[in-house]
Structures are given as C-alpha cells and as structure tokens.
Chains A and B, each alone.
Chain A
C-alpha cells in the first residue's frame, strides 16, 4: 500500500531530522518519571479527566519505561497520575523542560483541538518514600537519561559542524565533494520544511474504499505466542487506534466486536514496529 510506504519512509526521515536537531522530536507517547532521578516510573495509574463532565474519560497504566498514551477526541482534559510513594504535581520541577524531558505537565487543563490525537505530555512526579519497584527494575530497565540526552546532542553537533566545515571549504578550497555535501544539506533542509511529522496512531479501513472501521479491537502478539495478546486497543469511530510496542516483529489481529466472547476475527497482519515504538500504519480488512 502506497500510504504505508510513505509512512515507513517518513518515520525514518523524521528520526534523522530529529537527531540532526533540524526538527524538534515529536513524542509518540508521554513518560511519567521521577523528578529527581529522571528514571521512568511504573506502575502509574494515569487518568484522563474530561474538564466539562469531571468524569474519567480514559485510564491507563504506565509500562516499565514509564510510557503511557491516550488517543482522544477533541475536547478539554486534564491528567491525574497516581503512584504509591510519589506525589503530583511536582514541586521540584517547574516549567516546560528540565534538561532531559520537554513538554512537561503539571496538572493544568489542556485542549485537543483538531482531529483525534495522542496526548504526549511528560509528567514529573516527586519521590516521597522509598519505592521498592523503582529499585528492583534497575536490573530490568537500563535507562540513562543523561547519556540519552548527550547522545542526541553529539549527533546534532556533528551535523552542524560538518555543515560549517563545508561552508568554510566553499570559500577556501571548493571541490565537487564539498558541493555534494552542501547539496545534501539543502535537500535535508527542504525535507525538514515539507514532510509532515509522522502520525502517532494507526488506522483500520474496511477496504480500499477507505471507509474506516468504526468498532473493534486490535490485539498485538508475538509470532511464537499468537494466542497471548500483549497489547490491545479499541478502534475509535474514525478507525484510529493507539498501540505502543518495542521495536520488533509481531502479529496484529483485528476483531470486529468489542466483546471477547463474541470476538469474530477479521484479519491478522504480520507487522514490524520501528524505533518510533508505535503502530502508525493503515490496515485494510479487505
């Protein structure tokens, strides 16, 4: 499918543009983290509250890497995260960035104003007491926010250093090689302006007529364990769904009924998830 080929290429191009510093990284999810150590927190029960009704619109639990996500319709919301031994909103971190994370959230109302989209805030929480789970999972999750940040900075610095070097060479010792390097940079700047940011959600269509599937369940499993669903998501009325997964190969099953008892399997896809860690392709049932 051409649209999926575009999505695939777009994902890789975006990753390069973000690494080079030409484009701000888009979050495909939010992360709840310890405001002091910057380590991701789990399990955090994250509730999305509708500002108009005061009711909980969605609830999810963060994964071992602290990630969470909601795909919601336009509206006004706020987020309430809760975890034992941690307090929110953070008193230790204020503002929109803290040197490691950006797009920080502190309990304010926000709006999803256009189409249904993913909520991507990073949420700092303050440690109050010792948390056994945070200590125990250091053996399971190797995450160093300092080195992650440093790596991205180094790649970006190298990108700009090569550009400056090429510009200097143009004046003092121009060559075909230097022209080629500058041509490459022109192409990259152009792409940074014209290509859209990759989307954060997948979409199910009934067929090539592009009518969206308006109800159903999407389930992700390992190819060797097809009967154990490791991730599930409901398909929204516009056919969109939000599913996070680590990079790898999976089976994706789409069912037309929301009830497990009445599940009627429509189709199973073999898919590959890339570094964007979400499934953002189009899926046709027929």
Chain B
C-alpha cells in the first residue's frame, strides 16, 4: 500500500433493509483510485455502482446497512469518522456529479443562491456578499457558460439539461476537492450534449488536478476519458485493468458480452446482449453471481465465489476460468 492511493475501498458489503428481508446489494467491493488517476466504472443498471459511490460520500439511503468493509480516503477511514468530522472532510475532498441534472438542483432557489451557499460553506474565511458573487461568476465562467449574471439569477427550470449539468459541475468544483465522482453524468442528456459535458468534466478535472471516477453504463464514453477501468457486476468488481487492456483483451465472460453489445456503426447485426437478468439480491445463490447468465459456467462457480486473479500485469479478473491452481473439474 503506497501513499499514492487517494481512495481505497476494501471488501465493502452493504445491504438494504426492505420489507421481508435484506437486499444484499454490495458483495465485497474492492477498488482504489490513485492521485490524479481517472477511473471508469461500468456495469448495468442496478449492479451497485451508485450505492458504492453514495457509500463513499456517506449519502446512502436510510435503509442501507454497512455489513463490513473499509473506505479510506488519504489515510482516514471515513466509515469511522463522526458526522461532524466527515462533513468537514467531505467538502474539502469529495464532490459528486449526479445522474439527473433535472432533479439534482433545488427548484425553488436561484442558481446563484445555491452556488453562493456552497462557496460560503466551503471557504475557510468568511466571504462578503460581493466576494461570494464574484466567485460564483468565476465558477460559472469556468464551466463555459456565458452570461453568468443572468444564469445566477435564474431558477433551475429556466435552464436546459446540459446547462443544469454544467451547473452541477460548477457546484462540485466550488468546493476545493481532490476527487470528483461523476455518476452517469450524461445519461439524462442529449447525445450531442453528452460529448460536451464529458469533455468539460475531463478538462476541469485535469485542470484542477483532481482524480476522477466516471461511472457509466455506456462503454463508448469511458474509452477516451479514463486510464483504468473497473467492470462491476451484481455488487462486486469482476474485472479491472487499464482502459486499453479492457477494450483489447477483455477476459471475464460478462465483460466480453458487454463489449459485444455495443452497436457498431460499421455494420453487422445488433447484438442480443447478455441473456438473463441480475440475480435476486434478496436470496443470492452461493458462488459466482454471474453463474446463471454465463456461457462458460462450471460446477465450481455454483459453489464458491471467485476471488480476483492477476492474469496479466495489473489486469485482475474474478473468474474461475483463469484460476490455474483452482479445481476446474
């Protein structure tokens, strides 16, 4: 463990208490982000991406229960911090951009009121009204929005989706932070706007020397933005490697299926995707959670949960297919 890790999540296991039992959503999530690193996390809807990110920011829903695991940011275990310390810590270090810019902004306050409040609370010194306003203008300009004064006096519903997402980015960078978590920042947007927003996130995180976690279920988006990728399935990371390796040499059957399902402009038929659905989180079967959809399923997959295996340098897969020592039967 070098000091180079900014964020390290180890064996994070989170359940949701629901009527009739527990949804065992996160099943031992392991991943890390280094300083100045740009990490992509892909996985289908409902695989636990957002739950993981909300756990890092301690924004989890009331019915979430931490079973075990550790989240370290820098040298601090954030699950052990009290609320007050974490609050101070979070606004200095972690910022998140949400999936739906349409509902991530308070509808009855102006953009200016919301941004100035964030700046006010993030600042160590007490800023005057004029200073707050000036800083808010600068932040608006930094996300490439014209006419800052007008936008600051606008309400969220007066802005388009793309503009709102820019405002969310502006809110995120209004705090001095080290890690920017973008949770499907472009899902709710037009295709043409998607590229712009992604470019903005890319450019701003580089400029501010921030690490980035880009969560998405769209593979195309992560290719040029990230250094390293995690593939998440049903509550754990099943493959991790550099972005280049992932596209050139995917190993896990799920990753292969995922890459195959990208429609190609160069012709060919549409893929059918990966048949089957996510497992039942209430009563997950023992063993690998992908077993029922896997084309290469073996007996051991039904008995044991695969651990991560380093197949080539820095390329980890949680699958028994690559377990040389293991008992394949």
Q: A and B: real partners?
A: no
